[in-house]
Structure 1
Amino acid sequence: MSGVRTTTGEPAKLALSVTGLRVTGPAGPIVGGLSLEVGCGETVAVVGESGSGKSVTARALTGLLPTGLTAAGTMTIGGDTLPLDGGHRAWRGVRGSRITLLPQDPFTSLSPRHRCGDQIAMSLRGLSKAARKAAVLASLDEVGLPGRVAGQYPFQLSGGMRQRVAIAAALVTKPDVLVADEATTALDVTTQREVLDLLAGLQRERNMGLILVTHDLGVARGRADRITVLYAGRVAEQGDAAEVLAAPAHPYTGRLLDCDPPLDVTLDRLPTIPGSVPRLAQVGDACTFAPRCALATDECRSAAPALAEISPGHRVACVHAGQFTTDDPERVVVPPAAPAFASAPAGLEPVLCISGLRKSFGSHVALDGIDLDIAPGESVAVVGESGSGKTTLARIVVGLEVADEGTVRTGTSRPPQIVFQDPYSALNPSLSVSSSLRDALRAGGRSKSEVPALLEMVGLPAAYARRRPRALSGGERQRVAIARALAARPDLLVCDEAVSALDVSVQAQILNLIAELRASLGLSVLFISHDLAVVRQASQRVYVLYQGRIAEQGHTGEVLSAPARDYTRRLMASVPAGR
């Protein structure tokens, strides 16, 4: 029990111990020899970029690996030691009852065809109908939902309510350990805070272990007792969360922290990590981070470093542990200044002018009297909680919805183009990159011969034209989605949560790309986001929406540094600590 301690420094009772977890797929190893411990009542964060093995680890620990992947290693939970291959009979009584998974997206993890109460009751075995109903109602009450939700379908609920139903379903069996896999990634900051507070409260009541799988370093910083940093399927660093995040000893951890966008200042360019996460099978007997590390030597390229303790409970897999600084030499803070554009400059027609916009869906008023303008070359953000009207506004701007009242006027004959949130569903999986871009070029009256130029514009090699989406990373898919939008030569690009599904390093790359495109093409951007730190870096002006109305607007730095409205102040207060 090397790292699990009580507040008095005594060894804590273990809720879970994992030793030598290995996950292998058809192409070779994915996770290599991961070990971790979780104490009763303790929160352990597992962080890393996409492709690091976080979600695969979460599914291996809960016996839910997809077909084609196999696990090895052992898990001890509640005093029982079990193999992690998922086939042991004793393991079947553990999954869902002693350890359970809270997936990322409740909209897809909950069946739209079954009522919420029935889905919560699915894991309750050996109980009478009356006892199951009572357990369901008690579970809903624990997560702050009324009993009537049991008779509703997931699509009738908001995103925050769906996630509460998913939590109720995961915890109705009162497991010893909950594995939350990016459980708040898609939520706005206030809903995220509410859900995390709810989990923390239930954890305290039950003395439950919590594994928090996340790419949000602010969430890890504010919620975790200890942290495990994964890279390419191996542990890069482990230790006390406050210590690791304040003074990282592994270069990868330090570079991840550099990439996290700050909320208090605007940077000229966000730091990034060059390259991408390799597959563990490609690395062999070498440090997995060596190809992207400025400190790499021949020793790093010839042998995988052991995970060694550098202080009590703090382990690092790096021969150069601590020999770097987290101060990025290229970090340039943009000084506070007057707004670049308060409105369209005299004589220059706005690329977008919205006046008196109203939109309702039945009795629900989504937008109520919106006035908004964007000048040529300007980046404007719209922020607010889920349900505030952000996405409805974006869809009206690009013609996917029709307003009930008001006008939407563009200062060009070229229609605005949109980049959606999810790079995994935005592209047709059956089409190559070339086919997707050729179709977009054809629709814009341009030649298919321009595909290589489009790819170059978004920082991708021409050879990527032959690839299909499944062969691309999340960041590469989003670059293709941006290229597809640019095929029509728009003057206005609408980014609807375009980086919210990406980890911090890839997010930084995409935000830098959009800034470069604005500078080189004179492109205007309407940036829809719930991430205030991203908005700080990506926009010159910001509109804060609340229940379909504009609560506040102004220069982004001024609004976020000194918000005038209580609602904006509440949004700022909900941002995870440390940003």
Structure 2
Amino acid sequence: MLETQIQVRIDSIKSPNDEHLVGGIDFIWREGGIIALTGSSGAGKTLICKSIVGILPAQLKFIGSTVYRHDREEQDLARLPESKRTEWNAGQLAYLTQETDLALNPIRKIGKSFRDAMRLARSKVDRQAMQSWLRKVDLPADVLERFPHELSGGQIQRVLLAIVLASGTRWLIADEPTSNLDKVSQQKIVDLLSALNQELGLGILLVTHDTTLWKRLTNHVIEVSPGSEQVSSLQPVENFSEEKVMEISNVSFAYRKHWWGKKVPVLNQVNLAISEGDWVGLIGASGSGKSTLAKLMTQLVPLQDGQISYRNRPLQRLTMRYQSREIQMVFQNPYTSLNPRLTIRSQLQDAVPSVDWSTQPWKPLLKAFQLEDLDLDRIPATYSGGERQRLAIIRALLKHPKLLVCDEAISSLDPHNQWQTLRILQEISASGRMGLLFISHDITWIRQVCHKIYVMDQGHIIESGPTSRIIAQPAHPVTQALIAAAMPW
């Protein structure tokens, strides 16, 4: 009897204009095996994943094969018609995408999406079983009654993992499954993947740029690019004033599970301040309320209780044009801010409507981010996740904002591009007095670039102070756990 395996061979994946995007890939993925696929942003890791699953964009040309072998059966999955391929994937092969905002229907509750996925996979899972799978990924049972927008990016990732596991899949492709999670949650997901591999024989193809992550799971590593360059440490920008650019006072926020039901608190009496040109870090576990606070700061959700002031004026009294010029936000998923139907060039032009476009004011930023050779006349879906993220940052910077809210804005980038992005933001901040709220689970970066840290847990600011003190002498147990997980000295 032959072992069950999937042999992946990718000679080339080409763009519509016949440009070679990625190739030279040849490996065998054995049933129950764990493989790490690593490389820099833009190297083609996600394209490789999509080719294995059979969901490459139609305009791309795939040259290669994906051969499934079981007993004496041998089948090239890449040659199957779309309907047959979807049928084969169901309950066999699952793809956990890093683009969590696109994975769940925004107008259906999690429970309904869970049942829909089980129906497609031909699996019978009752409500009790769904709750059990949610608990396995450290989520409460009442998540089934929530809509996707009521969950953080990290919580949605865990919901997707629960759905995949409940379907009985034998092969899992996890594309940056922990990129938007805090270090404590990352460890839980890694431990869970390891346990599922050992208990269920789940085969895992793990896409990550986090070296410490894959080293805990496997020694079988496929490097798609030469690797990340060595980077030097960063230091906080010192050119900032004491003048407050934004003050948040006693802000609370809650949502309703149903229009007739009780409100569920998300934020409780939050106080936070950002000075002109200053960098402030906001850390906390996934689902602690960080993204909700960011949306309140940019009026993406309405203020319910408390006060938010921008330059001593109530935020809600600012005109949208003025706010757009002064305050910009970069989301953890660029699909949230980039229009999927418009080319990148048109979206960069929209960011500077009153400027002569023939001068191409975005060119210096593209060069700084090493994207000057990028074809801008393409839609966002044709770029890598890392390229999209950097383009979303460039689009925000074209406005020359005085306050930039970064919600896990670098989590999808490899370490070199993370360093490069922060260095560019520091230069812009120092020259233009741009304040920045840096929401991140990566305390190692926050330690290098932020003067002050706020720690959030279950909607409360539980601790705040100078970065050096919070890192060296954390007072709250939650802060101690976050720092211990991120920096295990």
Q: Same fold (TM over 0.5)?
A: yes
Whether 2:294 is the aligned partner of 1:394: answer yes
Which amino acid in 2 is paired with 1:456? P
Whether 2:295 is the aligned partner of 1:403: answer no
User: Post-superposition shift, 1:178?
Assistant: 1.9
User: Post-superposition shift, 1:212?
Assistant: 0.8
User: Post-superposition shift, 1:532?
Assistant: 2.1
User: Post-superposition shift, 1:567?
Assistant: 0.4
Q: Aligned residue for 2:220?
A: 226
Which amino acid in 2 is paired with 1:546? D
Query: Structure 1 length as normaliser, TM-score?
Result: 0.67
Distance 1:191 1:450, change over 3 A: farther
Whether 2:119 is the aligned partner of 1:122: answer yes
Whether 2:437 is the aligned partner of 1:526: answer yes
| 5+ residue gaps, structure 2 | 257-262, 314-321
User: Post-superposition shift, 1:402?
Assistant: 4.0
Which amino acid in 1 is paired with 2:275? A
- 1:187 counterpart (175, 181, 191): 181
1:286-305 equivalences in 2 (<5 Å): none
Query: Could you report, residue by residue, the CA deviation over 1:195-247 in whole angstroms, capped at 9, with x for unpaired residues?
Result: 3322222221112221112233332233333211113xxxxxxxxxxxxxxxx
Are 1:424 and 1:474, in contact at CA under 8 Å, matched by a contact in 2?
no
Give the distance between the partners of 1:147 and 1:399, measured in 2 at CA: 30
Q: Aligned residue for 1:321?
A: none
Query: 3-state SS of the aligned residue for 1:223?
Result: coil
Give the distance between the partners of 2:243 and 2:84, measured in 1 at CA: 70
Q: Aligned residue for 2:402?
A: 491
Which amino acid in 2 is paired with 1:72? G
- 1:101 counterpart (95, 103, 120): 95
- 2:53 counterpart (62, 86, 92): 62
Whether 2:45 is the aligned partner of 1:47: answer no
- 1:83 counterpart (73, 76, 80): 76
- 1:374 counterpart (249, 252, 274): 274
Query: Could you report, residue by residue, the CA deviation over 1:512-570 in whole angstroms, capped at 9, with x for unpaired residues?
Result: 11011112222221112233233223312110111221111122233234422110122
Give the distance between the partners of 2:170 and 2:466, measured in 1 at CA: 48
Distance 1:199 1:374, change over 3 A: same
Distance 1:572 1:453, change over 3 A: same
Which amino acid in 1 is paired with 2:290? K
Query: 3-state SS of the aligned residue for 1:20?
Result: strand
Which amino acid in 1 is paired with 2:306? G
Distance 1:455 1:542, change over 3 A: farther
Query: 3-state SS of the aligned residue for 2:272?
Result: strand
1 or 2 for the larger relative contact order (CA 8 Å, sep ≥6)?
A: 2
Query: Could you report, residue by residue, the CA deviation over 1:393-412 in whole angstroms, capped at 9, with x for unpaired residues?
Result: 22333333443333333337
Q: Aligned residue for 1:18?
A: 7
Distance 1:573 1:203, change over 3 A: farther
Q: Aligned residue for 1:355?
A: 249
Q: Aligned residue for 1:261?
A: none
Are 1:120 and 1:172, in contact at CA under 8 Å, matched by a contact in 2?
no
Q: Aligned residue for 2:318?
A: none
- 2:330 counterpart (420, 424, 430): 420
1:115-154 equivalences in 2 (<5 Å): 115-125=112-122, 132-133=124-125, 137-138=128-129, 141-144=132-135
Whether 2:182 is the aligned partner of 1:207: answer no
Q: Aligned residue for 2:165?
A: 171
Give the distance between the partners of 1:39 and 1:202, measured in 2 at CA: 16
Query: 3-state SS of the aligned residue for 1:55?
Result: helix
Query: 3-state SS of the aligned residue for 1:364?
Result: strand
Which amino acid in 2 is paired with 1:185? S
Which amino acid in 1 is paired with 2:446? V
Query: Could you report, residue by residue, the CA deviation over 1:311-363 in whole angstroms, capped at 9, with x for unpaired residues?
Result: xxxxxxxxxxxxxxxxxxxx3575xx9x969xx96xx4222233323333342
Are 1:360 and 1:366, in contact at CA under 8 Å, matched by a contact in 2?
yes
Give the distance between the partners of 1:394 and 1:147, measured in 2 at CA: 26
Whether 2:413 is the aligned partner of 1:502: answer yes
Give the distance between the partners of 1:450 and 1:486, measured in 2 at CA: 19
User: Post-superposition shift, 1:498?
Assistant: 1.9
Matched residue count? 457
% identical equivalent positions:
30
Query: Structure 2 length as normaliser, TM-score?
Result: 0.78
User: Post-superposition shift, 1:185?
Assistant: 2.7
Give the distance between the partners of 1:43 and 1:81, measured in 2 at CA: 21
Distance 1:104 1:359, change over 3 A: same
User: Post-superposition shift, 1:475?
Assistant: 5.5
Whether 2:27 is the aligned partner of 1:36: answer yes
Give the distance between the partners of 1:454 and 1:466, measured in 2 at CA: 11
Distance 1:450 1:527, change over 3 A: farther
Distance 1:30 1:77, change over 3 A: farther
User: Post-superposition shift, 1:58?
Assistant: 2.0
Distance 1:33 1:566, change over 3 A: same
Are 1:418 and 1:494, in contact at CA under 8 Å, matched by a contact in 2?
yes
Give the distance between the partners of 2:157 and 2:457, measured in 1 at CA: 21
Query: 3-state SS of the aligned residue for 1:351?
Result: strand
Which amino acid in 2 is paired with 1:411? R
Q: Aligned residue for 2:476?
A: 565
| 5+ residue gaps, structure 1 | 1-12, 232-251, 259-270, 272-330
Q: Alpha carbon RMSD of aligned pairs, Å? A: 3.9
1:311-330 equivalences in 2 (<5 Å): none
Q: Aligned residue for 1:385?
A: 285
Give the distance between the partners of 1:516 and 1:438, measured in 2 at CA: 23
Give the distance between the partners of 1:37 and 1:576, measured in 2 at CA: 35
Which amino acid in 2 is paired with 1:417? I
Are 1:368 and 1:549, in contact at CA under 8 Å, matched by a contact in 2?
yes
Give the distance between the partners of 2:487 and 2:3, measured in 1 at CA: 28
Distance 1:91 1:475, change over 3 A: closer
Which amino acid in 2 is paired with 1:571? L
